[in-house]
Structure 1
Amino acid sequence: MMTKTREQKTEECCPKFHPEKWDNKTFNWNNKPFIKASVPTFFHIPYPPMIGKQLTRMMKMAENSKMITANKEDVLVLFSDPHPFKSEILLSVNGSVHDATNTTLTGTFMSKVFDGNYNAIPKFIKEMDAHLESKKQEG
């Protein structure tokens, strides 16, 4: 979060993340609406300024279409890494957004929160795989 002096307006780059809303949760979605965009990566490593620019553009499009939730802390941003040189960003919306790539997700999704450096992602993937496998044994 970026703040300025009292006389200047306070700007917020993105809502505060509340891990308890997402850790060890299951979500059942039926055509949950999102808008989709992509950003360049270099061997799966994102270039942070490009992510910020793309998210800002996506948020403005959703706000202009009045399809973003009023409580910004309920906005969900998902990343997919289908290619070494491209990541996809999904931003949750309330309906179709004009001039955006609109898509939906349907299914049962389980989430778990991990905190650490980017180079720890392979370890987190293994932990998530083990977590999902344990849930399959319980269900």
Structure 2
Amino acid sequence: MEQLKEECCPVFQPKKWEGKTFEWNRKKFIKESVPTFFHIPLPPMIGKRVTKMTKLAEDAKKLDVNKEDMLLLFMDPTAFRSEMYLSVTDVVPGATNATLTGTFVSKVFDGPYKAVPKFMKQMDAALEKQGKKTKNHYVHYAYCPKCAKEKGHNYMVLFAQID
């Protein structure tokens, strides 16, 4: 009998995120950070932090039931630290709770992790043509490295917080 393979990352639908504008008013997240070396995180540290965040949110029953709507955003305030924001439905006890407020424009890219700075420049240039300026960048990776390899795509959603 064939054993069903458990889905790791949900199937990503680029159309759902491409070119959208989101108005977030205190959108709830839990937050962790990992050290980086010139924006390159140590992969084992990411996995440990994500596992910790997910467990806290699951135990509190605060994860979005629709996995396709769940966001894990990465933002690098410095070259030596990356912040991770996991979307939740409400405050999670024992976690560092955070909120994001503002206007966020999203664009989907498909490429290697090292291309993120190039994608940010492309997005900023497109927004500038519309008279918009980026305050912060957040990146949601649709697939973990293993699933990206299996599916043949390394989709990422770039969220630009604009003025």
TM-score by structure 2 length? 0.74
What is the CA-CA distance between 1:72 and the residue it aligns to?
Answer: 1.1
Counterpart amino acid of residue 59 in structure 1: T
What is the CA-CA distance between 1:15 and the residue it aligns to?
Answer: 2.7
Q: Gaps (5+ residues) in structure 1?
A: none
Q: Aligned match of 2:52 in 37, 42, 57? A: 57
* Equivalent in the alignment of 1:129: 124
Counterpart amino acid of residue 21 in structure 1: K
1:62-92 deviation line (CA, Å, top 9, x unaligned) = 1111111111111011101112221000000
Q: Aligned match of 1:38 in 17, 22, 33? A: 33
Question: Secondary structure at 2:91's aligned position in 1?
Answer: coil
Distance (Å, rounded) in 2 between the aligned partners of 1:50 and 1:19? 28
1:79 aligns with 2:74: yes
Greater strand share, structure number: 2
1:91-132 deviation line (CA, Å, top 9, x unaligned) = 000010010000111111001111112232222121011111
1:120 aligns with 2:102: no
Query: Max radius of gyration: which structure?
Result: 1
Question: Secondary structure at 2:108's aligned position in 1?
Answer: coil
RMSD value, Cα: 1.7
What is the CA-CA distance between 1:32 and the residue it aligns to?
Answer: 0.5
Counterpart amino acid of residue 27 in structure 1: F
Q: Gaps (5+ residues) in structure 2?
A: 133-163
Counterparts in 2 of 1:10 and 1:53: CA distance versus 1, 3 Å: farther
Question: Secondary structure at 1:36's aligned position in 2?
Answer: strand
* Equivalent in the alignment of 1:101: 96
What is the CA-CA distance between 1:27 and the residue it aligns to?
Answer: 0.2
Counterparts in 2 of 1:84 and 1:117: CA distance versus 1, 3 Å: same
Distance (Å, rounded) in 1 between the aligned partners of 2:48 and 2:15? 27
Identity %: 62
What is the CA-CA distance between 1:22 and the residue it aligns to?
Answer: 1.2
Counterpart amino acid of residue 60 in structure 1: K
TM-score by structure 1 length? 0.85
Distance (Å, rounded) in 2 between the aligned partners of 1:52 and 1:16? 20
